């Protein structure tokens, strides 16, 4: 193709420093993402060591999700106001300290408090990750390559966490699933200021009411959704929790429309494509969490896998993501984000229909390997175009708020997915048997993906032909860059 003759022959002067900065920030993102699942396969040993009990053990996971999802918007706004690198480092310091305290915990309360502390740190650091990636890249090609790697890390981090958690638990102790973050966090805190430039601060008054309403509303909704499988959708706890959450979000909307320096820019949620992409992201995460919740139980309870092998069982998902991420920059330049999202969500629905057929007499290769690989490929096809659409047209000074909005959507989508899928599974479950109820739960995940397909088809506007054609040459160039990086 003619585009190959126009490739640049020299790198930008700051390319080496920028690449190092991007790598450091991506390491932090991987640590934050995988920590949501790294303790999953260690939960039985944590229960034995600290004596949680079956009802309270879920809070080892839920405390992290609650703090993370509830404070993300506030973390994005703090980065805009005080500087993203500064807030990123403060968040990592809090996260690293929480990891150390969790590894040292001697009681259930201490561990849950430490996991909450980790979630607070992650909420401060995570919104700045995407903003630092986009502002650190020296040119558009580097920016898209960083977004592709961000998508691979963010989508694959959860399954990597399962593998790492299983390995650490098998060869050492469950405490190392938390201690492993300490040296990594310290290294990133030391190296980041040397290779990542601080971003300009956004002056103006801080939106206190908006911050409190956004944080309180998100916390109320996540807390309510986490407890729904246990308490039921019609319980007083659930009804009141939803009412409080909706009321606080209504207060947020009213405040943001009137405040001169709002926490969430109203224009971010007035764009039809951005709102559609956020909805697709929420549905994607809601569908995928069923696999992490149900397949871990299936491979350990039915197939007899240990913690390490249960983690390794998720490698097809991770490998599918990383392999597909090599070509997503080229695809997005050739066919556009909407076509990729239509394909990805459609294939994901088929993957979960396939998973719904598992039974007690199946083997891993026959029942799990194929649909998991398909889910990884389809997730990678969807994740990057969603990220591109959400950040498209956002001014640099609002990039932190936009990325905070994206990641808040991920957490809330995951919480909704867990609540709905666990409720469906419980309705069809048989005491002492794991498989009954799984078919309906996986079909519910397929319905989530099918809804995402419908949103992509109806809500998202097709890109003009001229824009798609213009992106073709750049897409080939980006594909070569991603291949070299991988």
Whether residue 10 is predicted with pLDDT greater than 70 in this model: the reply is: no
Predicted confidence band at 482 (pLDDT cuts at 50, 70, 90)? very low
Residues 313 and 238 both lie in one domain = no
Instruction: Name the residue among 259, 266, 276 with its Cα closest to residue 212.
Output: 259
Angle between helices 370-391 and 272-301 (to 10 degrees): 160
The average confidence (pLDDT) of the chain is 80
Whether residue 463 is predicted with pLDDT greater than 50 in this model: the reply is: yes
314: its two tokens: 């998720």
The pLDDT of residue 397 is 64
Whether residue 164 is predicted with pLDDT greater than 90 in this model: the reply is: no
Whether residue 432 is predicted with pLDDT greater than 80 in this model: the reply is: no
- Calculate the CA 197 to chain-centre distance: 25
Mean pLDDT across the stretch 74-96? 87
The pLDDT of residue 106 is 93
Look at 134 and 457; give whichever has higher pLDDT: 457
Look at 175 and 77; give whichever has higher pLDDT: 175
Residue 452 lies in a domain: yes
Residue 152 lies in a domain: yes
Contact at 8 Å (CB) between 402 and 417? Answer: no
470: its two tokens: 């213009």
For residue 240, give its domain range: 207-260
Whether residue 14 is predicted with pLDDT greater than 60 in this model: the reply is: no
The pLDDT of residue 140 is 67
Contact at 8 Å (CB) between 471 and 333? Answer: yes
476: its two tokens: 């080939």
Please work out, in degrees rounded to the nearest 5, the angle formed at the alpha carbon of residue 485 by the alpha carbons of 347 and 157.
50
Contact at 8 Å (CB) between 68 and 119? Answer: yes
Boundary of a domain, candidates 242, 260, 278 = 260
**HSE-up of 368 (CA within 13 Å, CB side)?**
25
Residues 303 and 437 both lie in one domain = yes
How far, in Å, CA of 260 to CA of 373, rounded? 47
The pLDDT of residue 468 is 44
Residues 224 and 277 both lie in one domain = no
Residues 158 and 236 both lie in one domain = no
Q: What is the DSSP string of 222-259?
A: HHHHHHHHHH-TTSHHHHHHHHHHHHHHHHHHHHHHH-
The pLDDT of residue 478 is 35
The pLDDT of residue 85 is 87
How far, in Å, CA of 341 to CA of 361, rounded? 35
Look at 12 and 37; give whichever has higher pLDDT: 37
Whether residue 256 is predicted with pLDDT greater than 60 in this model: the reply is: yes
How far, in Å, CA of 52 to CA of 403, rounded? 35
430 forms beta bridges with: 433
Mean pLDDT across the stretch 214-238? 80
DSSP single-letter state for residue 460: S
Contact at 8 Å (CB) between 137 and 473? Answer: no
Look at 449 and 393; give whichever has higher pLDDT: 449
- Calculate the CA 59 to chain-centre distance: 19
Whether residue 474 is predicted with pLDDT greater than 50 in this model: the reply is: no
How far, in Å, CA of 252 to CA of 280, rounded? 23
Least confident among 176-180, 189-193, 236-240, 410-414: 410-414
231: its two tokens: 């308490």
The pLDDT of residue 314 is 85
How many structural domains comprise the chain? Answer: 2
Mean pLDDT across the stretch 239-259? 89
How far, in Å, CA of 189 to CA of 102, rounded? 19
Contact at 8 Å (CB) between 210 and 255? Answer: yes
The pLDDT of residue 111 is 94
The pLDDT of residue 55 is 53
For 369, counting Cβ atoms within 10 Å of its Cβ (0-12 exposed, 13-18 middle, 19+ buried), the class is: middle
DSSP single-letter state for residue 368: I
Assign residue 355 the CATH number of its domain: 1.20.1250.20
Mean pLDDT across the stretch 28-33? 84
For 430, counting Cβ atoms within 10 Å of its Cβ (0-12 exposed, 13-18 middle, 19+ buried), the class is: exposed
Whether residue 96 is predicted with pLDDT greater than 80 in this model: the reply is: yes
Residues 168 and 213 both lie in one domain = no
How many other CB atoms are there within 10 angstroms of residue 486's CB atom?
13
Residues 419 and 301 both lie in one domain = yes
Alpha carbon of 123 to those of 31, 71, 118: distances in Å?
13, 5, 9
Residues 234 and 266 both lie in one domain = no
DSSP single-letter state for residue 410: H
Look at 11 and 443; give whichever has higher pLDDT: 443
Consecutive H or E run containing 215: helix 208-231
Predicted confidence band at 102 (pLDDT cuts at 50, 70, 90)? very high
Residues 238 and 188 both lie in one domain = no
Residue with tokens 């109320």: 220
Residues 222 and 343 both lie in one domain = no
433 forms beta bridges with: 430
Least confident among 5-14, 30-39, 60-69, 206-215: 5-14
Residue 1 lies in a domain: no
Contact at 8 Å (CB) between 316 and 369? Answer: yes
The pLDDT of residue 31 is 86
Please work out, in degrees rounded to the nearest 5, the angle formed at the alpha carbon of residue 116 by the alpha carbons of 112 and 118.
115
User: Among residues of the chain, what percentage have pLDDT more than 90?
Assistant: 23
Residues 36 and 78 both lie in one domain = yes
How far, in Å, CA of 403 to CA of 29, rounded? 13
Residue 3 lies in a domain: no
pTM listed for this prediction: 0.74
Residue 420 lies in a domain: yes
The pLDDT of residue 477 is 40
Boundary of a domain, candidates 219, 245, 260 = 260
User: Among residues of the chain, what percentage have pLDDT more than 70?
Assistant: 83
Least confident among 120-134, 405-419, 470-484: 470-484
Mean pLDDT across the stretch 203-229? 76
Least confident among 252-256, 350-354, 367-371: 252-256
Contact at 8 Å (CB) between 181 and 31? Answer: yes
Spell out the alpha helix ranges (H) of 259-314: 272-301, 307-312
Residue 5 lies in a domain: no
How far, in Å, CA of 23 to CA of 259, rounded? 37
The pLDDT of residue 260 is 76
Whether residue 213 is predicted with pLDDT greater than 50 in this model: the reply is: yes
Most confidently modeled range among 143-157, 177-191, 217-231, 294-308? 177-191
Boundary of a domain, candidates 260, 282, 302 = 260
Residue 298 lies in a domain: yes
Residue 421 lies in a domain: yes
Whether residue 230 is predicted with pLDDT greater than 60 in this model: the reply is: yes
DSSP single-letter state for residue 198: P
Residues 56 and 108 both lie in one domain = yes
Alpha carbon of 200 to those of 55, 152, 173, 382: distances in Å?
46, 28, 43, 31
485: its two tokens: 């990086």
Residues 168 and 212 both lie in one domain = no
Whether residue 323 is predicted with pLDDT greater than 80 in this model: the reply is: yes
């Amino acid at each position: 193709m003619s585009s190959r003759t126009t490739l640049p022959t020299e790198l930008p002067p700051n390319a080496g420093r920028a690449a190092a900065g991007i790598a450091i920030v991506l390491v932090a993102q991987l640590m934050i993402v995988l920590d949501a699942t790294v303790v999953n396969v260690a939960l039985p040993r944590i229960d034995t060591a600290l004596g949680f009990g079956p009802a309270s053990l879920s809070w080892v996971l839920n405390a992290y999700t609650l703090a993370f999802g509830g404070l993300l918007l506030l973390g994005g706004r703090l980065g805009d106001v005080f500087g993203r690198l500064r807030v990123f480092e403060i968040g990592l310091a809090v996260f690293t300290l929480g990891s150390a305290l969790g590894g040292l915990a001697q009681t259930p309360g201490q561990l849950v408090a430490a996991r909450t502390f980790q979630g607070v740190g992650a909420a401060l650091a995570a919104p700045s990750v995407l903003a630092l990636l986009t502002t650190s890249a020296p040119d558009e090609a580097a920016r898209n390559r960083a977004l592709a790697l961000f998508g691979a890390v963010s989508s694959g981090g959860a399954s990597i966490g399962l593998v790492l958690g299983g390995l650490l638990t098998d060869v050492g102790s469950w405490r190392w699933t938390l201690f492993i973050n300490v040296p990594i966090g310290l290294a990133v805190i030391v190296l980041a200021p040397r290779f990542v430039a601080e971003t300009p601060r956004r002056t103006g008054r801080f939106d206190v009411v908006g911050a409190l309403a956004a944080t309180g509303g998100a916390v109320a909704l996540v807390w309510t959704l986490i407890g729904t499988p246990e308490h039921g959708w019609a319980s007083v706890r659930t009804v009141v929790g939803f009412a409080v959450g909706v009321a606080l979000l209504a207060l947020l909307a009213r405040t943001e429309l009137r405040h001169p320096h709002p926490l969430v820019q109203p224009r971010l949620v007035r764009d039809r494509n951005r709102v559609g992409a956020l909805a697709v992201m929420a549905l994607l995460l809601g569908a995928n969490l069923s696999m992490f919740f149900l397949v871990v139980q299936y491979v350990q309870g039915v197939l007899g896998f240990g913690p390490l092998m249960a983690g390794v069982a998720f490698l097809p998902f991770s490998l599918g993501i990383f392999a597909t991420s090599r070509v997503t920059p080229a695809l997005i330049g050739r066919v556009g984000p909407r076509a990729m999202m239509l394909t990805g969500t459609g294939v994901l629905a088929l993957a979960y229909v396939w998973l719904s057929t598992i039974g007690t007499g199946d083997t891993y290769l026959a029942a799990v390997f194929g649909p998991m690989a398909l889910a990884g490929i389809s997730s990678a096809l969807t994740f990057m175009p969603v990220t591109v659409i959400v950040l498209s047209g956002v001014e640099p000074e609002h990039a932190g708020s936009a990325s905070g909005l994206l990641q808040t959507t991920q957490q809330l989508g995951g919480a909704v997915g867990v609540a709905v899928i666990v409720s469906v599974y419980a309705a069809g479950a048989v005491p002492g048997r794991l498989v009954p109820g799984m078919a309906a739960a996986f079909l519910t995940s397929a319905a989530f993906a099918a809804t995402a397909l419908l949103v992509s088809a109806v809500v998202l506007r097709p890109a003009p032909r001229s824009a798609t054609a213009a992106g073709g040459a750049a897409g080939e160039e980006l594909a070569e860059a991603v291949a070299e990086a991988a």
